[in-house]
Structure 1
């Protein structure tokens, strides 16, 4: 039997609450190879049950946490180009003077 919308919402809230209740003070943070300690970078940490935490090296106290399913969806979307940035026109599309 399929979950109702209310059941899905309740399950996701429960998963989020459990994920944010985890003590992650001792996790090992990883960043892209080749980045220097002083450079701004995105860092991730692997959590239990396939979950992932993500933070900015410039703001290490702000940590986002993702369930395994959320992280998988993000990574697959990124690989598929869902988050590719379109070149933004500068100065309303005009070339710099």
Structure 2
């Protein structure tokens, strides 16, 4: 599968998807991440065929920083 967005052409055919080591096998709200073609792809681990979101490195860094800072805590 190849996606073109945000100036990236991302080929997900051989993507190495990773799920957090903090995720348990019974967890039903996990995502998987793959770093491909200079972009970051994210998908639902339980519904992998639903599609992917593509982030630029800057967008991903902002998300990770916001997570560490508690920006998304409920």
Establish whether TM, by shorter chain, passes 0.5.
yes
Deviation, structure 1 residue 58: 1.7
Unmatched tracts of structure 1, length 5 or more: 1-14, 86-97
Superposition map of 1:1-97 within 5 A: 16=6, 18-19=7-8, 21-33=9-21, 35-36=24-25, 39-40=27-28, 41-49=30-38, 51-61=39-49, 62-85=51-74
TM normalised by structure 2 equals 0.76
Greater per-residue helix proportion = 1
Greater RCO, CA 8 A, separation 6+: 2
Whether the 8 Å contact between 2:10 and 2:37 is mirrored in structure 1 is no
- Supply the RMSD in Å over aligned alpha carbons: 2.1
Aligned length: 68
**Bigger proportion of residues as strand:** 2
Larger radius of gyration: 1
Q: Which runs of 4+ in 1 moved over 6 A?
A: none
